[in-house]
Structure 1
Amino acid sequence: MSAKYDDLNKAQLIELLEKRDRTKKLGLVWERDEIAADQAIDENFIACEIVPELSDKSAPWANMVIEGDNFDALRWLRMTLSGQVKCIYVDPPYNTGNKDWVYNDRYMDPEDRFRQSTWLEFLYRRFTLARDLLAEDGVILVSINDDNRAVLELMMDQAMPGMRLGSLVWRTRDTTSAKGGNFSDVHEHILVYAKPNFIFTGNQKSNKKYKNPDNDPRGIWNVDPLTLAFDRNDRERLFYPLHDPKTDIWYPCDPDRVWAYASKERLKPGQKTRSDTMEAHIENGMIVFPERQEIAVWNSKEEVLSAIELGNVPVTPRDKKPLIRIDTDPDFWVGKKVGFGRPGFKKFWKDLRSHVSPLSSWIARMNEEELDDLFTLRTSSGGAGTNEIQSIFGRKAFQNPKPKALIKQLVAQAASSGDMVVDFFAGSATTAQAVMELNAEDGGDRRFIMVSSTEATEGEPDKNLCRDVTAERVRRLNASDDPKYADLAAPFAYLRTREIAFEDLDYDLDPKDAWAALETLHALPLTIYDTARPWNAHEGEAVTLVMVDRYDAALLDWLSDRSRQNVFVYAWAPGQLARELAGVEVEIRSVRDTLVRNFQQ
């Protein structure tokens, strides 16, 4: 047996074999140690400590900036926010070498033939945790370059099975320099993975093209094509000349695009159709015939053939193909009034399945024309993100940030007022600013959680990206005198992750850290735990949280004066507290057991 498995017991070997039996054989495969990955999740407990001097504005804090390895932060968030996050946006490292990613110093070895596997495994562990944060109408949006899009997408298919919605494409810069093969790589992708109930906001459709010139009581309408994308061989019964009984004008059918509705003249006896016949639609005023058009009458077959030869017959609107040909029964048209216009179908505004245009997969440039039936995000070049950083910091405090306009529009499409937005590769906190600006514009109260590491190295041991860039950007926006930032406000708690061995939880889990976790678990903004008090309480609009450090008789009176509906009382020794509160109908939970159970879910 390989030495790789020498340390595994029988149960672990069976678990590994069962997992491999369940693994799909078709798709992306990378080198990974599944047992090591599983053990890493529960290797230790993660606490988050509020750092008051690095937090901004006064408590309670609805927003968070978390300093630490995002694997640790995600484990803490899964314990406290599982199933509660509406939108996650991340711009992860692109696997382009250690010059752009401090984690490469630890995870990436250019000489390692499993270099790609290391990157994929690094992200896989984080995305599987992030998946558990999403609400049933939640979405995760992931930026990636063209070189790594394919492998990342395949990996995410495994991390988030059945959740792939699609991808967005945006042009990152205006330059057209070629990367090789005379191919200009000036675009990136945003992968979209969503839970079942998620929908993009889209945009309200415009009804400016809908009119009611005939005063139809059914309301305003527009003209839709009256044809289907089938030719006469595919739908033979839908290939026929169309007659307007009011004007006695006939319209030839396009051999390559037949009529959308059957004619009762072509139906077999007793045959029924799924929709009304063409004649029924005409009678109901649903067919719009041209009012001003060229009309021809050919008195002999020779005149018809001459018109065909000279091209003097009705043609298709776009490619100008003749609609009357030698092989489409020229005899039929002799002596009839032939219309050169094209009939259409009345589409009423009230009958549209949706008045919202779906989001386009193409992110357009600012100067591109809008599409009628799609809502298109718009952005400037990637360099706009650097200009925004310089405007706030007065220097290039962060390399290659995404443009705020891009992230802002994504968040606007994915998250509404009251929703939680998470970025666990927060970097320069562009996502936080996007949330702040959206709230200022629509009066919403979206909340954000930004996760960032220090990115300290042996050469820069005092570096702290999270403190000096991620959090600092929000601080500066909160305090800015610049009129364009005047309405921005996002008080936040600054938290720092801390590892605790499970066997040491009873001794090392500080009450203030447990309090922060319980507040987050109950969707309450964060406050400072008062260690001088025997118990702390946080009364929210929908829930009241109490954590008892040591029993005090005043707690009984406090509870008696309140409705105990949606009151959650936590204690380190719940059995003892239950005896003290005998007769009081209130749910008492164990601090330790609740957090550990949620952490190990």
Structure 2
Amino acid sequence: MSNKYDHLTHEELVSLLVKRDASRKFGLVWERDEIEHENALNNDFVTVELDESNSVGDAPYENLIIEGDNFDALRFLKTIYSGSVKCIYIDPPYNTGNKDFVYNDHYIDSDDTYRHSTWLEFLYRRLELAKDLLSESGVLLVSINDENRAALELLLDEILPGKRAGSFVWRSRQGDNRPKGAYLSVNHEHVLVYAMPEFRFIGAEKTFDMYSNPDDDPRGEWRTSDLTGPASSLERPNTFYPIHNPNTDIWYPCNPDRVWIYATEKNLKDNQTLRAKTIEQLIEEGRIIFPKDPKYMVWDSIEALKTAIENGDVPKSGSGSSLLRTDMADLDFYVGKKIGWGIPAYKRYRSEINETVQPLSSWIRPTSEKNYIEAQDHAEIVSGYTDEGSKLLRQIFDEKVFNFPKPLSLMQHLIEQATTGDDIILDFFAGTGTTGHAVLQQNKEDGQKRRFILVSSTEANVSEPHKNICQDVTAERIKRVINGYAKTAGTGGNFAYMRTKRIPMEEVHVDIQHDQIWYTLQLLHSNAVSSYQQNQPIHILEMEESRLIYLESLSDALIKELIEMISKDHKSTVIYTWQPKMIEEHLFSNHVHIEQIPEYILKRFGEQK
């Protein structure tokens, strides 16, 4: 196959590559082997198998725990859940120099030119797959430490350009007596937020306690609001003017450091139009609240006024600075007039509020400050320290099973703010299963039906060949949470325990098993999975408005049975079969759709580059 480099000699190609590698680039640069990357994606097919002995609760299982390399799991999940996941939360390895990588795909060796190449390529492959799982209202939340935050943000900016919404700052511990460089004790982490176009956090309902209607205003309840803005008289000279109360003939000077946010008709140029109303219009409409029984003063001369300014006996701002100053160009305007103390306010009606909720603060407060937070009018996440997660794990397992797990409170509040209803939450670095625990606990508290997908590896190695973190920690924790532990009532719920399986692409037609097909089809149509019944030629899943049928084999008797079943109702039916032409010859119905196996699944699996 020809390409644009065919005309170049070997020496010219080498020279071009050297120049390209030496050129300066904006953004993140790391080493990667493009061909090896492509092979890792395209040389095999990924499916799943159900282990009912490790599953919990009654089928159909709506939650999933998947044992396997999360690279494989994401490739399978993309087949099923593309564009369907509301929240992805991950707490990936932090590139600390420890043996963080226990996964199966290949990495560039220790002689990397760029320090973070291995770690970045490791995350890049997974996040490239994960981004396609997010719905249009979805969000990606990623925990990271301070040291690696910058590199990870640049990586995410490349994967999800324009989707960065911000970050949370979480205080992970009270302090550290082992400070690093500059004698700085790092006791916080970050949760990066990358949001799709339609996502927004739930926030907190605004309180309307400050609204009332003491004057029986027919426009409804109202509250006073500030009439000034952050600009000074030098920045906005046109809105630096005194406000006149026509009922009392009192003038209220403007703060030179915070001028009014509304213009006056006196400063408008000919034919000038405004988007907002003028102060005169607002006064006429009764929208300006003047001080009741105000103190005022009349200075008969400029000398008397300047003496009052020097003595500090003039109107002042809330911060105590004088509103009248001797260097003001129009100071003589205030001579001979009633000059009032106090500051006029704006009458803001409850009916004018566009948003009924407050946005979520990016500052995560420690649990120790919870009472203080609840007294404030804020939407904030409240979380414990890392030791909260450690104590909870010891309570669940009666022993230490994991270092530095995230606290349940942090995960539960993030899930509460990011999801609702039957949203799907995915964690493909599930570890101790805190995300699944948080989903179950939050559902118990608010009655929602969120679903989780947790992916964890065994982390087996040469010295520990039988080690299985997914089975013995992730799934075991969720099992105990569902059923109850240490005098703590269970949350209820279920999960299917599944394992990924790779099949060489050229062998799929021969090696793929009927149970693997049936699990995949169930998840595609219902986001849930039930057991596979052996030695049955036909498998049927009846849903509320549709029907799924998988045919392992065909016979005249089975075709007759199918025709009778489908003719009884007009329920939308999808039939998956290895021999579609035999079905098409006998079924002519516009509510029946026929797909060929395994071609249909292979097509959905697709080329994931």
For residues 107-138 of structure 1, what are the alpha-carbon distances to aligned partners after superposition, in whole Å with 9 as ceiling and x for unaligned?
Answer: 58666544411100100110010000011101
Deviation at 1:238, TM superposition (A): 0.9
SS in 2 for 1:98: coil
Provide the residue aligned with 2:580 in structure 1: 574
Provide the residue aligned with 1:500 in structure 2: 503
TM-score computed with the length of structure 2 as normaliser: 0.92
Q: What residue identity is the alignment partner of 2:156?
A: M
Matched residues in 1 for 2:174 and 2:100: separation?
22
* Contact persistence 2:69–2:103 (CA under 8 A): no
For residues 89-123 of structure 1, what are the alpha-carbon distances to aligned partners after superposition, in whole Å with 9 as ceiling and x for unaligned?
Answer: 10000000225554599758666544411100100
* Contact persistence 1:46–1:498 (CA under 8 A): yes
For residues 410-446 of structure 1, what are the alpha-carbon distances to aligned partners after superposition, in whole Å with 9 as ceiling and x for unaligned?
Answer: 1111111111010000001100011001111111111
Deviation at 1:372, TM superposition (A): 5.3
Which of 411, 418, 421 is the equivalent residue of 1:414?
Answer: 418
Q: What residue identity is the alignment partner of 2:562?
A: L
- Is 1:461 paired with 2:465? yes
Provide the residue aligned with 1:5 in structure 2: none
* Contact persistence 2:32–2:108 (CA under 8 A): no
* Contact persistence 2:90–2:430 (CA under 8 A): yes
Matched residues in 2 for 1:73 and 1:163: separation?
24
- Is 1:544 paired with 2:547? yes
- Is 1:383 paired with 2:383? no
Deviates more, 1:302-311 or 1:261-270: 261-270
Which of 428, 433, 439 is the equivalent residue of 1:429?
Answer: 433
Q: What residue identity is the alignment partner of 2:327?
A: D
* Contact persistence 2:31–2:112 (CA under 8 A): no
* Contact persistence 2:143–2:190 (CA under 8 A): yes
Change (3 A) 1:103 1:595: closer
Deviation at 1:162, TM superposition (A): 1.9
Deviation at 1:495, TM superposition (A): 0.4
* Contact persistence 1:98–1:108 (CA under 8 A): no
Q: How many residues align?
A: 587
Provide the residue aligned with 2:9 in structure 1: none
Deviation at 1:233, TM superposition (A): 2.5
Q: What residue identity is the alignment partner of 1:207?
A: F
For residues 348-377 of structure 1, what are the alpha-carbon distances to aligned partners after superposition, in whole Å with 9 as ceiling and x for unaligned?
Answer: 222111011001111112244438564111
Provide the residue aligned with 1:68 in structure 2: 68
**Percent sequence identity over matched residues?**
45
SS in 2 for 1:362: coil
- Is 1:151 paired with 2:151? yes
SS in 2 for 1:522: helix
Provide the residue aligned with 1:344 in structure 2: 345
Change (3 A) 1:104 1:597: closer
Please give the residue correspondences for 1:158-197 in structure 2 after superposition, counting only pairs within 5 Å: 158-177=158-177, 178-197=179-198
Matched residues in 2 for 1:264 and 1:590: separation?
75
Change (3 A) 1:290 1:483: farther
Q: What residue identity is the alignment partner of 1:466?
A: C
Change (3 A) 1:581 1:542: closer
Matched residues in 1 for 2:119 and 2:542: separation?
44
Deviation at 1:387, TM superposition (A): 0.8
SS in 1 for 2:526: coil
Q: What residue identity is the alignment partner of 2:544?
A: E
Deviation at 1:12, TM superposition (A): 11
Deviates more, 1:122-131 or 1:470-479: 470-479
Provide the residue aligned with 1:589 in structure 2: 595
Matched residues in 2 for 1:491 and 1:361: separation?
33
Deviates more, 1:272-281 or 1:477-486: 477-486
Matched residues in 2 for 1:596 and 1:11: separation?
29
Provide the residue aligned with 1:489 in structure 2: 492
Provide the residue aligned with 1:124 in structure 2: 124
Provide the residue aligned with 1:243 in structure 2: 244
Deviates more, 1:307-316 or 1:403-412: 307-316
Provide the residue aligned with 1:558 in structure 2: 565
Matched residues in 2 for 1:457 and 1:343: separation?
73
Please give the residue correspondences for 1:179-578 in structure 2 after superposition, counting only pairs within 5 Å: 179-318=180-319, 320-328=320-328, 329-368=330-369, 369-370=372-373, 374-480=378-484, 482=486, 484-486=488-490, 488-551=491-554, 552=558, 553-565=560-572, 567-578=573-584
Matched residues in 2 for 1:508 and 1:289: separation?
83
* Contact persistence 2:244–2:251 (CA under 8 A): yes
Matched residues in 1 for 2:318 and 2:306: separation?
21
Deviation at 1:36, TM superposition (A): 2.5
Change (3 A) 1:98 1:182: closer
* Contact persistence 1:251–1:342 (CA under 8 A): yes
Unaligned runs of 5+ in 1: 1-8
SS in 2 for 1:189: strand
Change (3 A) 1:24 1:440: farther
For residues 67-103 of structure 1, what are the alpha-carbon distances to aligned partners after superposition, in whole Å with 9 as ceiling and x for unaligned?
Answer: 0000000000001110110011100000002255545
Please give the residue correspondences for 1:45-60 in structure 2 after superposition, counting only pairs within 5 Å: 45-60=45-60
Deviation at 1:579, TM superposition (A): 2.4
Change (3 A) 1:132 1:205: same
Matched residues in 1 for 2:412 and 2:431: separation?
16
Deviation at 1:182, TM superposition (A): 2.4
* Contact persistence 1:232–1:255 (CA under 8 A): yes
* Contact persistence 2:67–2:471 (CA under 8 A): yes
Deviation at 1:564, TM superposition (A): 3.1
For residues 317-339 of structure 1, what are the alpha-carbon distances to aligned partners after superposition, in whole Å with 9 as ceiling and x for unaligned?
Answer: 13x22110112222111222222
Matched residues in 2 for 1:59 and 1:475: separation?
15
* Contact persistence 2:40–2:105 (CA under 8 A): no
Deviates more, 1:329-338 or 1:474-483: 474-483
* Contact persistence 1:358–1:373 (CA under 8 A): no
* Contact persistence 1:522–1:543 (CA under 8 A): no
Change (3 A) 1:476 1:109: farther
SS in 2 for 1:485: coil
Provide the residue aligned with 2:10 in structure 1: none
SS in 2 for 1:75: helix
For residues 253-274 of structure 1, what are the alpha-carbon distances to aligned partners after superposition, in whole Å with 9 as ceiling and x for unaligned?
Answer: 1112221111112223433221
Matched residues in 2 for 1:280 and 1:420: separation?
52
* Contact persistence 1:136–1:198 (CA under 8 A): yes
Unaligned runs of 5+ in 2: 7-12
Deviation at 1:11, TM superposition (A): 6.0
Deviation at 1:479, TM superposition (A): 1.8
Matched residues in 1 for 2:200 and 2:88: separation?
14
* Contact persistence 1:98–1:105 (CA under 8 A): no
* Contact persistence 1:454–1:466 (CA under 8 A): yes
* Contact persistence 2:219–2:349 (CA under 8 A): yes
* Contact persistence 2:108–2:117 (CA under 8 A): no
Deviates more, 1:170-179 or 1:468-477: 170-179
Matched residues in 2 for 1:481 and 1:454: separation?
24
SS in 2 for 1:407: helix
Deviation at 1:237, TM superposition (A): 1.6
Matched residues in 2 for 1:413 and 1:549: separation?
44
* Contact persistence 2:229–2:258 (CA under 8 A): yes
* Contact persistence 1:98–1:104 (CA under 8 A): no
SS in 1 for 2:116: helix
* Contact persistence 1:109–1:115 (CA under 8 A): no
Deviation at 1:344, TM superposition (A): 1.3
Deviates more, 1:140-149 or 1:50-59: 50-59
